Structure 1
Amino acid sequence: MDPVAPSPSVNKPSGFAGFAPPRAVRSEASPRGGATGRADQAADRVAKLIETVGPGSRLGTKDELRTLCSVSVGTFNEALRLLQARGLVTVKPGPGGGIFSAEQSPMVRLGNSVLALDAQHNDVAEAVRIRDALDPLLIEDALWHASPADVSGLRRHITAMEKAVTAADAVGFVHANWRLHAAIAAISPNALLSSLYTHLLDLIESHTLSVLPASEQPLGEYIAYRHELHRDLVDALDQRDREKALRIIHEHNTSTPSTGPTPTPTAH
């Protein structure tokens, strides 16, 4: 089922124009100044260098880049850890090795979102396809079996999604979104279906590096739209409105809304 996020958090397949590798996210470590500040500055210096070269390009040896950044060995090692955590560089040992700009992550479409994935992208693409096919079955089960307590639990996840929208926290929104869908799956009396769906969600989440926009629309607008869509879905389940619930889940998985925002990042 669905939205944005980074990783390890969360962090898409080829064939979609205009997508760049996940943007670097600055560590919230400490103010600039001191060892951590110098490491941030060194990481930023290397990140700017990366912007001038293509994916997979050799940037130099550790000593060469450390000299370029004018920092100590320890500070550069910390900067290198920051760059690796951001998915910007890879380190290759041996002759001809050194520090290289990271290859662009494989990508997979997730509804109106795009996920940047790790090496297991083929498995994740299949998991997304199967998950989308199972959504209507779980909605049918929820229409029949959701108790008032179940619906109350779903609304708590909707509230968490709303808070993420207010905070402009796309990553938090994605995780709250996936928790909502896991809670819907848990309502099903079909243990095999529920277990399979939950496993697919876990697989998708564990291999997602970040969530990127599927269009130029501002991310805040899109996650606000996705929040409203999921809120309406829970309302339909509460009202036992089968036609509305199935229409929403179809829109949720396959289409761009005809009115309202044009999709951007998030995840089912």
Structure 2
Amino acid sequence: MGGPRFEPVRTVRAYERIVEQIEEAVETGALTPGQRLPSERDLMAQFSVSRSTVREALRVLQARGLVQSRPGDPNGAEVQPFSPAALHKSMTTLARVDELSLGELVQFRMVLDASANLLAARLRTDEQLAEMDAAIERMRRAAEVSYDEFSAADVAFHDAVARASRNKLIEISTGVVRSIVLNLIAGKIASSDDRVALMRRSIRHHEEVLDAVRAGDGPLAARLSRETMYDYYVDYVPADERPALRALLEE
């Protein structure tokens, strides 16, 4: 017999309804960062639920980074400003359970960084160019001394480029994806025999990108970014995932 196919009905627990309503209030601006929720007692009355149900809802909201609840605080939980921590946690979990492969993460980083470079080349300020210059100089000084210091300077360079894109979502996403990718391969880089050579090559790539950004050549800055990412990460990515990275190099 024809007709639509229906899915089984899912029983929604009371605390999930509380979470949904508070999330909606935050999303619509009815609740803003710094505001406090009603006390536990008031929430119990408003939602007509037990204290344990309210506390479970607050636990979920806190885990998602939406509110901060302090033990013993007589006031209600405080609504938190947006933080990339929740996005970082979600993507890290996806990577760990193999829902996101290293190849997919690297490919996404290639897309994000290329876009950031393209926009930065057109929108950067002289102060942001100076930040990029300073970051590369720090990379040069650290290359012979400390990989950790080199990595911190590398991050500072990419952060400056992302800020110059003037897109908050690009800025947040590039930082999150970069952190996850580097954590996944940190051990391999640390044990590399030619780590100093890798750092020197990375500095040259960054210098080329900065020259393109300074010249206002967005397409070149984007292409150099994709090529740099490919060269740096391709040997760490499984062979069957490399064609997806190479596809981003084709004009």
RCO comparison, higher one (Cα < 8 Å, 6+)? 1
Higher strand share: 1
Which protein is bigger by CA-based radius of gyration? 2
Q: TM-score, normalised by structure 1?
A: 0.44
Higher helix share: 2
